[in-house]
Amino acid sequence: MNLKLIPVVPLILPVLFFYSCGKKTEETKPIRKDVTETVFASGVLEADNTYELAAEADGYLTQVNFEEGDIVAKGKVLAVVSNKEAIFNEESAADLYNIARSNTLSNAPALQQAQATISINKQKMELDMVNLQRYRKLWESNSVARIDLDNAELQYKTSKSNYENALENYKQLQQQADQQAISTGATKNINELITARNKINAVAAGKVLQKYKQQGDYVKKGETIALIGNPQNIYAKVNVDEGNIGKVKVGQETLIQLNINKGKIYKGIVKEIYPSFDESTQSFICKLAFTDSLDFTIVNTQLQSNIVVATTKNALLIPRNYLDFGGYVQVKGEKEKVKVVTKFISNEWVQVLSGINENTVLVTENLEANKTTISEAGSQMQ
């Protein structure tokens, strides 16, 4: 059962046994006590800001630079994966980038040749311009024929066009070289990132809580190398079923018991209720913060908890075995059973809202009893 009725103080109830036709009967009266309703939840100890350190590439671990219990800083290289293909691709991309980058410089062979062509065409254009001006003066003095002037003009236009084309060609070569440098530079950066994934760095500062891999192990991309978390803040991570999560609220008191020491109870509070249903456990996850000092801080230690969801003052209680499955009780001296309205039912106790009172004497049969004398027994609610 997930719900428990917990009295504020233990109770010792006298129970008298009587015999009728070989069957022993018991009788008792309801009692009034303050009780609490709790929701049971099991879980484990977990460190705050816990994360799994995972490999980002396939390969063998050539270095593992940590042990369990080590404190690591953010960004520290904790392991190295051997990936020769990635290293080769990075080196090749770097070489291609260097070549492409050199082709953008003014002393690059293609640009030098284009610049030389510009210079030649410029000189030819300037010479043809001077020649054209000379022919124009001769034409004005009727010293040359019209066809000679036209040829000089055509020659100048041709050389000017060649010069302009040489300038445009240089610009295109420069643009192509720049584009090639950008493209190879991007490839180089990508390959550097891929190679960098061979180094497994700490995502955040913390303590190595568990180590899963050793040097020489083969790992796949996404495989966990270690578990890292904040050792200064250990909390209980518990699972609450669908039927009870609606009763759990942040700030409620909790009683936590570690499986390694079931004789000790730690107090805590509900710190957080995770916002989504956990499909793997088919439950809702809650984070319980310890208010008592925790003297055992090994993560994944299994635990049990009771979350106090309600307290009822002066509740009317009867033992569970006095209530049948139909919700009826047998009152002493009555032939017919009496229907009672109940609120909480645990394995041992029932809270009754109406139908009987504290003066009502209840009777039940104990068919399994084999004693033949009147005795008094104590029953303690828990």
Q: Over the stretch 109-127, which tens digit does the pLDDT of each residue have?
A: 999 999 999 999 999 999 9
Give the pLDDT confidence score for residue 341 in this predicted structure.
94
pLDDT in tens, 222-258: 999 999 988 788 999 999 999 899 999 999 999 999 9
pLDDT over threshold 60, residue 21: no
* DSSP notation for 312-352: EEEEEEEEGGGS-TTSEE-BTT-SS-EE-EEEEE-SSEEEE
Classify the C-alpha dihedral 294-299-303-308 as positive or negative. positive
Q: Which residue has the higher pLDDT, 85 or 239?
A: 239
Residue 327 burial (C-beta neighbours within 10 Å; 0-12, 13-18, 19+): middle
Q: Which helix (H) or strand (E) holds 379?
A: none
- From residue 204, alpha-carbon distances to 75, 76, 147 in Å are 7, 9, 85
Q: What is the CB neighbour count within 10 angstroms for residue 53?
A: 23
What is the CATH code for 52-79+201-228?
2.40.50.100
pLDDT in tens, 162-197: 999 999 999 999 999 999 999 998 988 887 777 777
pLDDT over threshold 60, residue 369: no
pLDDT over threshold 80, residue 379: no
pLDDT over threshold 90, residue 17: no
- From residue 305, alpha-carbon distances to 39, 69, 251, 287, 302 in Å are 8, 27, 15, 11, 10
CB 218 within 8 A of CB 60: yes
Q: Which residue has the higher pLDDT, 18 or 96?
A: 96
Q: Which two tokens stand for residue 64?
A: 């593992």
pLDDT band for 330, please (50, 70, 90 cuts): very high
Residue spans of the domains in the chain: they are 3-49+230-366, 52-79+201-228, 89-196
Give the pLDDT confidence score for residue 15 in this predicted structure.
42
What is the CATH code for 3-49+230-366?
2.40.30.170
**Once rounded to an integer, what is the mean pLDDT over residues 86-92?**
79
Give the pLDDT confidence score for residue 372 in this predicted structure.
32
pLDDT band for 373, please (50, 70, 90 cuts): very low
Three-class DSSP labels, 275-300: EEEECCCCEEEEEEEECCCCCCCCCC
As a whole number of angstroms, the distance between CA 97 and CA 102 comes to: 8
Mean pLDDT of the chain: 85
What's the pTM value of the predicted model, to 2 decimals?
0.55
SS3 content of the chain, % helix, strand, coil (to 5): 30, 40, 35
CA 239, 244, 250 angle in degrees (round to 5)? Answer: 70
CB 64 within 8 A of CB 208: no
pLDDT band for 4, please (50, 70, 90 cuts): low
**Once rounded to an integer, what is the mean pLDDT over residues 375-379?**
30
pLDDT over threshold 70, residue 344: yes
Instruction: Give the three-class secondary structure for 1.
Output: coil
As a whole number of angstroms, the distance between CA 58 and CA 65 comes to: 18
Q: Which residue has the higher pLDDT, 372 or 301?
A: 301
Q: Are the folds of 3-49+230-366 and 52-79+201-228 the same?
A: no
As a whole number of angstroms, the distance between CA 42 and CA 305 comes to: 6
CA 67, 71, 72 angle in degrees (round to 5)? Answer: 90
As a whole number of angstroms, the distance between CA 46 and CA 206 comes to: 13
Give the pLDDT confidence score for residue 171 in this predicted structure.
94
Give the pLDDT confidence score for residue 23 in this predicted structure.
55
Give the pLDDT confidence score for residue 287 in this predicted structure.
96
pLDDT band for 292, please (50, 70, 90 cuts): very high
